[in-house]
Amino acid sequence: MCAFAESWQPFMILTEHRECEATSQRWPLFRLIQTFRYVKTGKYQRDRFFALLGLALDGDNPLFEPDYDSPLEVVIRRFAQGFAQDGYGMELLYAAGLDKQEGDSRLPSWVPDWTEETSDRGNLSSAAGRGVIFSASGLLSSRICYLQDREVLEVCAICCDVIDCVSRFSNVPSQRSRYFQELDSMIEACKHFDLDRQQQLKKTVPIAGALHPESGSSALINITESYSAYRRVLRKDELKARSMRGTGKKAKTRTSSRRTSSEQSPAIIGMREKSKTYASLLDEYIVGWKFVTTKRGRCGIAPSSVLPGDSVEIFSGGKVPFILRDGLQPAGGTFLIGQCYIDGIMFGEAVEEFKGLREIPYYIDLS
């Protein structure tokens, strides 16, 4: 069902845009660029921006003037500057981060790499469609400023934690069995959580607290049942893989018909069907993420490039926390890695904890 909905998404977007055009309600350029990131470009990557100017509400901004002479990264920075100055600073941060950039990218960490053709799977900050509305910064309003002299983005932030441990395995299909075994162990090592709380964290944290898939109906889906079925499927598939590794070709041939019959039983088919809801949540925007624990005893998930020692920051006005990393001297700088989900701070709890401290929040310049 999710794959079907995703295949129709471009047509639905175009229909919505035509309706807006008919009523003279044009989209801002930032929204157009984000929406049509899946579209392949021709000879020039910068045409991804210039082709949308005539459709955009703000396409006449001088910073968006078509430019085929400057290097591509200069053009992208110019567009990012325009978006930041027009009030899209937080939206830039939601879409940006070193984890989303290619290894040879010359873009600042706060600038999205729009040259990457991606289908929009959403992101943590837009999780309302999955039954949760995050508000990590509580009632704090956004305070973001582009500093043109240094080409950095200044954000108001609260440092609420530091990454302590990071899982070796990631949330990718080929590693799921070992990933869940590892996060089980990491949660069980957190002795300050009782057993019931540990079981709850094992279920909710890997899917960033989602209650149902984007295209699902919350009334028809039981996440607890789907999670239990998914873990049983993982165990069954792991046992099957071990069995195949441990048996020879003859043994494999003798048991193939019996195994096929077992896998086609109504109970097994029903279990796999029930597990699909939980599996679909793992396959969304958090694919490739790793499980983490923090210095203050929290646990969560973060982009694959997260490292121990990275800081967990909440930006004023932000819906979700972010992972930041200090650069090496002498160049220094503070770099955005990406969004993260940390249990216990997603709904303003950290802001309440630090309320009244004069030195918090403070300002960070993102390089």
β-pair partners for 364: 155
- Would you say residue 120 has pLDDT above 50? yes
Give residue 1's pLDDT. Answer: 45
Helix (H, G, I), strand (E, B) or coil at 12: helix
β-pair partners for 146: 153
- Please state the rounded mean pLDDT for residues 303-314: 97
Q: What is the pLDDT of residues 170-195, one digit of tens each?
A: 999 999 999 999 999 999 999 999 99
Confidence of residue 26 (pLDDT cuts 50, 70, 90): confident
Q: Which of 215-219, 231-235, 248-252 has the highest mean pLDDT?
A: 231-235
Residues 120 and 37: beta-carbon distance below 8 Å: yes
Return left, alpha or beta for 316; rule: phi > 0 is left, psi -120 to 50 is alpha, else beta.
beta
Alpha-carbon span 321 to 310, nearest angstrom:
12
Give residue 246's pLDDT. Answer: 66
What predicted TM-score, i.e. pTM, was given to this entire model? 0.85
Token pair recorded at residue 176: 């799921």
Q: Name the average pLDDT for the chain.
A: 85
- Tell how far CA 281 is from the center of its chain: 12
- Please state the rounded mean pLDDT for residues 60-67: 94
Of the listed ranges 1-15, 200-214, 341-355, the one predicted with least confidence: 1-15
More confident: 306 or 103: 306
Alpha-carbon span 10 to 6, nearest angstrom:
8
In the chain, pLDDT over 90 holds for what percent of residues? 60
In sequence order, what are the residues at sequence separation of 6 or more whose Cβ sits closer than 8 angstroms to the Cβ of residue 117?
A: 37, 38, 39, 40, 41
- Would you say residue 150 has pLDDT above 70? yes
Residues 316 and 141: beta-carbon distance below 8 Å: yes
Token pair recorded at residue 234: 């993982």
Give residue 282's pLDDT. Answer: 96
Alpha-carbon span 65 to 111, nearest angstrom:
18
Token pair recorded at residue 311: 């800081």
Alpha-carbon span 137 to 160, nearest angstrom:
11
Number of H helices, E strands in the chain: 11, 9
In sequence order, what are the residues at sequence separation of 6 or more whose Cβ sits closer than 8 angstroms to the Cβ of residue 122?
A: 129, 214, 284, 285
Q: What is the pLDDT of residues 234-277, one digit of tens each?
A: 998 888 777 776 665 544 544 454 455 555 667 777 888 999 99
Token pair recorded at residue 331: 């160049």
Amino acid, res. 144: I
Of the listed ranges 10-24, 84-98, 227-241, the one predicted with least confidence: 10-24
Give residue 84's pLDDT. Answer: 96
Amino acid, res. 360: I
